[in-house]
């Protein structure tokens, strides 16, 4: 394939030739061979495919919420070409056998993937570390979906094992001792969008996150481990991680939503860690824009509408987001709040650097041809009914996003807008049929 007349994130106009799975050339005035498919970008933006280092595709055990097939289709339609799945499935990915079972299901993925190993009191590190793990984590320091929270001693032991194996540790940092139980008194009244979801935000306090980040990073870096803090929801948490030598990610829901949205969202806005004040949301976005934040990842955690239509104390935590990650950031760029270079950095370049993916994250000769072609001015309203996750809803309903026209994984088109100029490159439903690969076995 030859993509002509594309604009890169740094503003350069270039042609990009793909040979097999790799980028063969990035230059001006490239001439098409007779057997090449030619895509005229016509000045549209060409980005490296996004790497979402935090998804929950729910298989095995919860396929009514999401499957590797539906989750990866949603990823491809949003311009995400690599995902990293977390361990809180059923069974949890805490042993070599559980890893193998999940890897067999992941073979249906349209996009490339990594699989994280998890930690529980009953985990089997010997067999787990024999497998091609992406990282150890999400290591839960407080219970969330799957009840995998662990204590400080087990965390320290797990960090030692990971450091010895040269495996990064991704941490869900909340200190349950600092939760405000009084905030949930009477919170069972109302269901779904009528539930008092602000109580959940008051319950899982900012202080619980900040203190847990400080301790986790101190323990981890003190043992020579690479620590990455997941879904950091407060500006103080970002500072606590980055100033102590860890990397951190923030989510789109913490960047674009706040407690002010909870009266409309109800239980659809319940997640861990919860939404914060509007002031903290703005400060978090400032840290994204100024370069402090390393990665934007989604914590894509779908639940069905039936599951969310319960009381605040009964509904599960989590929101979908893999398909709207790049569109929301590109809309922020369209509005002048971010540069395209910054979008590229937090969705592709930095994730690849932090987690040692040497052939991903950049548009350069020799790199995997994971590419996203998008009209940066084509803003669309986000509707859950238009997205491809199994759960059928989105917390970003009605916000604007800039969605891809074409997504390729290692040179193969996996998604094209059915109404766009590249529609003929895929099937009638907009999707190709490329098989994703584990990025830890293909470096």
Catalytic residues: 299
Structure token digits, residue 163 = 């450091």
CA–CA separation, 110 vs 408, rounded Å?
Answer: 10
Terminus-to-terminus CA distance in the chain, angstroms? 23
CB neighbour list of residue 147: distance below 8 Å, 6 or more residues apart: none
CB neighbour list of residue 56: distance below 8 Å, 6 or more residues apart: 66, 85, 86, 88, 89, 145, 299, 300, 301, 302, 318
Residue carrying the six token digits 């929270």: 149
HEC string of the chain? CEEEEEEECCCCEEEEEEECCEEEEEECCCCCCCCCCEEECCCCEEEECEEEEEECCCCCCCCCCCCHHHHHHHHHHCCEEEEEECCCCCCCCCCHHHHHHHHHHHCCCCCEEEECECCCCCCCHHHHCCCCCCCEEEEECCCCCCCCCCCHHHHHHHHHHHHHCCCCEEEECCCHHHCCHHHHCCCCCCEHHHCCCHHHHHHCCHHHHHHHHHHHHHHHHHCCCCEEECCCCCHHHHHHHHCCCCEEEECHHHHHCCHHHHHHHHHHHCCCCCCCCHHHHHHHHHHHHCCCCCEECCCECCCCHHHHCCECCCCCCCECCCCCHHHHHHHHHHCCCCCHHHHHHHHHHHHHHHCCCCCCCCCCCCCECCEEEECCCCEEECCHHHCCCCCCCCCCCCCEEECCCEEEECCEEEEECCCCCCHHHCCCCCECCCCCCECCCCC
């Amino acid at each position: 394939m030859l993509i002509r007349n594309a604009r890169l994130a740094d503003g350069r106009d270039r042609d990009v030739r793909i040979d097999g799975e790799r980028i063969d050339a990035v230059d001006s005035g490239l001439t098409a061979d007779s057997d090449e498919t030619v895509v005229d970008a016509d000045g549209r933006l060409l980005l490296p495919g996004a790497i979402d280092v935090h998804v929950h595709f729910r298989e095995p055990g919860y396929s009514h919420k999401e499957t590797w097939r539906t989750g990866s289709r949603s990823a491809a339609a949003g311009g995400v070409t690599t995902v990293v799945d977390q361990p809180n499935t059923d069974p949890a990915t805490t042993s070599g056998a559980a890893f193998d079972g999940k890897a067999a299901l992941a073979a249906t993925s349209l996009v490339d993937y990594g699989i994280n190993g998890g930690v529980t009191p009953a985990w089997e590190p010997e067999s787990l570390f024999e497998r091609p793990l992406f990282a150890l984590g999400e290591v839960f320091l407080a219970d969330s979906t799957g009840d995998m929270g662990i204590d400080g001693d087990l965390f320290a032991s797990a960090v030692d094992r990971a450091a010895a194996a040269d495996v990064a540790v991704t941490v869900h940092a909340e200190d349950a001792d600092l939760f405000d139980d009084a905030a949930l008194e009477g919170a069972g009244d109302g269901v779904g969008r009528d539930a008092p979801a602000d109580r959940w935000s008051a319950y899982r306090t900012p202080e619980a996150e900040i203190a847990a980040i400080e301790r986790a990073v101190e323990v981890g870096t003190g043992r020579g481990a690479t620590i990455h803090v997941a879904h950091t929801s407060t500006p103080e948490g970002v500072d606590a991680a980055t100033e102590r030598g860890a990397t951190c990610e923030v989510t789109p829901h913490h960047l674009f939503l706040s407690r002010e949205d909870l009266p409309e969202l109800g239980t659809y806005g319940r997640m861990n860690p919860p939404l914060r004040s509007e002031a903290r949301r703005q400060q978090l976005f400032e840290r994204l824009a100024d370069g402090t934040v390393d990665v934007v990842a989604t914590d894509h955690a779908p639940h069905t509408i039936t599951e969310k239509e319960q009381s605040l104390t009964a509904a599960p935590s989590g929101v979908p987001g893999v398909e709207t990650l790049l569109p929301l950031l590109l809309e922020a760029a369209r509005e002048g709040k971010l540069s395209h270079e910054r979008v590229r950095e937090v969705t592709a370049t930095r994730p690849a650097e932090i987690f040692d993916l040497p052939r991903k994250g950049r548009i350069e000769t020799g790199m995997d041809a994971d590419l996203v072609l998008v009209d940066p001015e084509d803003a669309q309203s986000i509707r859950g009914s238009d997205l491809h996750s199994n759960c059928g809803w989105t917390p970003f309903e009605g916000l604007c996003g800039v969605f891809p026209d074409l997504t390729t994984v290692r040179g193969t088109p996996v998604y094209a807008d059915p109404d766009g100029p590249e529609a003929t490159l895929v099937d009638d439903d907009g999707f190709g049929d490329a098989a994703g690969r584990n990025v830890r076995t293909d470096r």
